[in-house]
Structure 1
Amino acid sequence: MSGIPPGPAGRAAVLCGVGGRLPERIVSNAELSARLETTDEWITTRTGIRNRRAAAPGEATSDLAVEAGRQALRAAGGEPADTVLVATATPDRRCPATAPLVAARLGLTGAAAFDVSAVCTGFVYGLATAAGLIATGVSERVLLIGADVYSSIVDPADRTNAIIFGDGAGAVVLRAGTPGEPGAIGHFDLGSDGDAEDAIIIAAGGSRSPVTEHTPRAERHFAMRGKEVYRHAVLRMTASSRATLAAAGWRPEDVDHLVAHQANLRILHSVADATGISRDRCVRHLVDVGNTGAASIPLALGHAHDTGALVPGDRVLLTGFGGGLTWGSCALRWPDLSPGTGRRSTGGKDPR
């Protein structure tokens, strides 16, 4: 599926602020190596990850989302949003959605608020949703937050997945604007393949298989078939990226920055190679935060903005892949944001 049609008077969603939040606790490869009978070299070679962040006991997805959202709103000038979207695979509760709570804690009671469930593609799906709401005149200002606490669903004894995932939240603010201005969101490509739903899954806990006292431990936790997911991720993000480039009228060499879902370094490089984009144009933020799910793309954007890698006018290609299976891509020109507006509140050393 491609494209967000212009709305009333050619309205478009324009990115005007970024923010983020990472938990304080750093989980190093050395710590995992001692617990999981692996090594720092093994983890780094296969994933490109050295550290990841872990939420504190009692720290939920909404807690991270509120702080990320507050930063993004402040960076965008402090004006309230009339719509709040939270992309997450780890909501505070199965019911209700997390977004209304986040909106209330941000003083946005009365705003439209709902969750977007597309796992690691959730932020891109959320961008498309926000763009559609603004283009059609339903919303004027949308706060979109990608937030996940994977430590709540990954088995800490799972050597395959515990080394990959981290916790965090990233956010952007989108305002009503015009299609031609810097920061305008457009040229989407979205897709899914439900036939492969069990490639990335928590088997128990929904209406299909409610948790009972007899539910096996493995079915209560996140599971992923790594080799199959790797193949699908590269294939789907590459095809989606190419479709988005074609819609935008860009060549691969026109892209200044590829901001892909920060799954692992091998996937990032493979997508860049297959799309024809130089590896040195890949934004890499996973090294010290891990795979943060729906938060990974907005956190990577904030990191690139803070470090000066993103400058106004840069052509940016976003692409994501996640459970469902789902995938999606988006193109935009980076707007002129105030320096440091993507700074992540961590309580500890900010990863650079």
Structure 2
Amino acid sequence: MKWNNTFVAGVGAYVPSSVTTSSAVDQGLYSEESREADGFEGASIERELVPPQMAVEAAGKAVTDAGIDSNDIDIVFHSGIWFQGVDMWPAASYVAAHAARPGARAFDLQQQCNVGLSGLELAAALLPSVNGHILLTTADRFDGGPVDRWRTESGVVYGDGAGAVVLSSTGGKFELVSTHTEAANDLEKVVRGPQFATCPSTTTIDIGARFDYFISTGGMRAAAGRLVDAVTTSVGRALADAESEIGDMTRVIVPAVGKTKLDWQLQALIPVDINRTNWRFARQMGHLGAGDQFVGLERMCAEGGLEPGDRILLVGGGAGFTCTSAVLEFRG
């Protein structure tokens, strides 16, 4: 999809300080083998705020960065992949009331780790009918309970944090040039496991065990091929709609997974040098659930070095399976 008059006007992030992976190894929380193989140096860990509170912090920075009045925000999309602080409660309404205005339309979105970028695509489609701006936030805190940030998923260390962007039709620092989403919804079974449950898990979630179960069913080869097709098609069509090639991208923001996964992804799916990606700061924070792309964009802005006309490719993927790719052009 090629977009017109659609801009990312402001970006914001809230990322707490990190605990080093070496200290996690010393405490017996993380294995030295995984630390060496995956290359994570730390994980951001929040001690006080719940995810919607972190989202409000990130949103405030994005609104300030956009130079707009929060009362001009018409829609709020909030996303996360884990517990948001209260059971059966609309976290998006909290974000809207504290970061926008009580009358803003607020919606919680879900699509696992791809929900930030897929939400951006959805917001872009709604923008022409909106009398104002759209605020998108993501936030997660993987602290205690059934999620073990160090062991729940092989090749991943989960970090806490929030990201936010303001989408506008009146201008901004980035123009949204194109997006494309590919879906293979029957691949939800890859991480479903052998059976359903009638209530949330009270034991440690082990995504690796679910994955191993799927492998035992004999469908892994076909599933892997379809995942590759989904990602390469998403990236390829977003680039084609932007009339660009991967070599035209100044920066590429990808999911913050460890190098046991990332090295393969950059070889088979998104052929770019790792130094052009967000890995240099993602390895300090860990995987932020739905927030890798928004926080990665904020970090690249803070890092500096972008010139007007530079293009950035953002790629998101989430269990389900969906993949969304977006091309942004920096306007200064």
TM-score, with structure 1 as normaliser = 0.79
Partner amino acid, structure 1, of 2:147: V
CA–CA separation in structure 2 for the residues paired with 1:142 and 1:159: 33
Q: Is the 8 A contact 1:48 1:286 kept in 2?
A: no
| Kept in 2: contact 1:15–1:175 (CA 8 A) | yes
8 Å CA contact 2:250–2:310 kept in 1: the answer is: yes
2:118 aligns to what? Answer: 125
1:98, CA displacement in angstroms? 1.1
Instruction: Quote the Cα distance in structure 2 between the aligned partners of 1:160 and 1:106.
Output: 32
Tell me how far 1:161 sits from its aligned partner: 5.0
Residues 306 and 238 (structure 1), Cα distance of their counterparts in 2 relative to 1, 3 Å cut: same
CA contact (8 A) 2:246 2:271 kept: yes
Q: Does 1:262 align with 2:253?
A: no
Give 3-state SS (helix, strand or coil) of 1:150's partner. Answer: coil
- State the 1:191 CA deviation: 2.2
Equivalent residue letter for 1:302: E
Q: Within 5 A, what are the aligned runs for 1:2-151? A: 3=1, 12-24=5-17, 26-36=18-28, 39-40=31-32, 42-56=33-47, 59-80=49-70, 81-90=73-82, 91-135=84-128, 137-151=129-143
Aligned to 1:328: 324
**What is the identity, as a one-letter code, of the residue corresponding to 2:58?**
A
1:189 aligns to 2:180 (yes or no): yes
Helix, strand or coil: the match of 2:78? Answer: strand
Distance 2:236 2:27 in 1: 41
Check the 8 A contact 2:142/2:148 in 1, yes or no.
Answer: no
For residue 239 of structure 1, give the secondary structure of its aligned residue in structure 2.
helix
Distance 2:323 2:250 in 1: 21
Residues 155 and 271 (structure 1), Cα distance of their counterparts in 2 relative to 1, 3 Å cut: closer
Please point out which of 209, 212, 217 is paired with 2:203: 217
Question: Identity across aligned pairs (percent)?
Answer: 24
Residues matched between the structures, number: 316
Aligned mates of 1:231, 1:292 — CA distance in 2: 26
Unaligned segments of structure 2, at least 5 residues: none
Give 4+ residue runs of structure 1 displaced > 4 Å after superposition.
37-40, 159-163, 201-204, 226-235
Separation in 2, partners of 1:67, 1:280: 29
String of CA shifts for 1:212-256, please: whole Å, max 9, x gaps: 8xx6624xx362438979887665433321221122111121111
TM-score normalised by structure 2 residue count: 0.83
Instruction: Provide the C-alpha distance between the structure 1 equivalents of 2:88 and 2:112, rounded to a whole number of angstroms.
Output: 17
Distance apart, 1:196 and its partner CA? 2.2
